[in-house]
Amino acid sequence: MAADRYLAGMPAHFKYFATWLPNASVSLGDVGVLEERVFTRVTSLQALEIPFAETDASPAADYEMQSDSGATIELGVHAGPDGARGKASVQFSEKGGFVFQARSGSEKNIQDTNTLGAEILAAFGRGEWKKEWVVVDSVVSVENMTVLVSQSETAGIEFALDGPLPPSLPLASPGANLSIVSMSGAFVRVVGATAATPMYRVSRLSRAFWAPFKSPELKRVRRGVRSTSNEAAAQVPVPALTRVEWDELEGF
């Protein structure tokens, strides 16, 4: 599907999974399944009565990305009777081309994943946790966001701004009040979304604990690293949770 490039390109660049649809809501402590990089919520830590604490939000940052090919942005100014107004044109030449702009994003995490891992392991032992479940342990929230994903081989959209062009991120500026002037082709478009959660990270119960329990501690997997039977056999504490990375989903 056209979303494949967005769902692969965003985590390859930012090291977070991207929500789909782009304006789908995700929260710390959500529990569900990952299928083809799409998270489907099933329940939550709160509903399962598993406690957790959140970190403070990180300092705000802006996020911007577009597909490595098939997408171009042109900016300009339109002079009218009410003064100069900015304009922005986005053209796509490939299916799946995308543009992502988000302003004032901050990250929150689950504070103590070791304790959380022990709680999840205990829930698994009671039959209250399924081995295929993942838990959202990190979320990026943004104040304003625009996402465009082309669903046709050629597509284009032109916006008028309510005022001059901002110095950066013209498609995600809260005061720009984007209005669509013209559009061709098929899009998934989220324009000027506020209080959005476009990116997240998840962890799952480590495979080492799918069989008889070992140690109720936590395990995190970084990119390209998988646990092995030799690891499981080693006399080293094995954490119960594994961080799921975007490029580790084959056979997940």
Cβ-contact 202, 137 below 8 angstroms? yes
Cβ-contact 38, 20 below 8 angstroms? yes
* Separation CA 97–CA 231 (nearest Å): 41
Cross-strand partners of 179: 160
* Separation CA 83–CA 54 (nearest Å): 47
- Picking from 206, 63, 202, 214, the residue whose alpha carbon sits closest to that of residue 134 is 202
Q: What are the backbone dihedrals phi and psi of residue 232, each rounded to the nearest 5 degrees, phi first?
A: -60, -30
At 237 the pLDDT is 59
At 236 the pLDDT is 44
Catalogue the E-assigned strands of 3-133. 17-18, 30-35, 38-44, 61-66, 71-80, 83-92, 98-109
Give the single-character DSSP code of 56: P
Instruction: Indicate the burial class of 76 (C-beta count within 10 angstroms; 0-12, 13-18, 19 or more).
Output: exposed
At 82 the pLDDT is 67
Q: Which helix (H) or strand (E) holds 233?
A: helix 229-233
At 11 the pLDDT is 95
At 85 the pLDDT is 81
At 221 the pLDDT is 36
- Report the predicted TM-score, pTM, of the whole model to 2 decimal places: 0.85
With vertex at residue 29, the alpha carbon angle to CA 25 and CA 33, rounded to the nearest 5 degrees, is 70
Average pLDDT by stretches of 10, the chain with 252 residues: 90 96 97 95 98 97 95 85 81 96 97 94 94 96 97 94 86 84 94 96 88 47 41 53 75 43
Give the torsion through C-alpha atoms of 142, 61, 135, 47, to 10 deg: -50
* Separation CA 200–CA 223 (nearest Å): 15
At 80 the pLDDT is 64
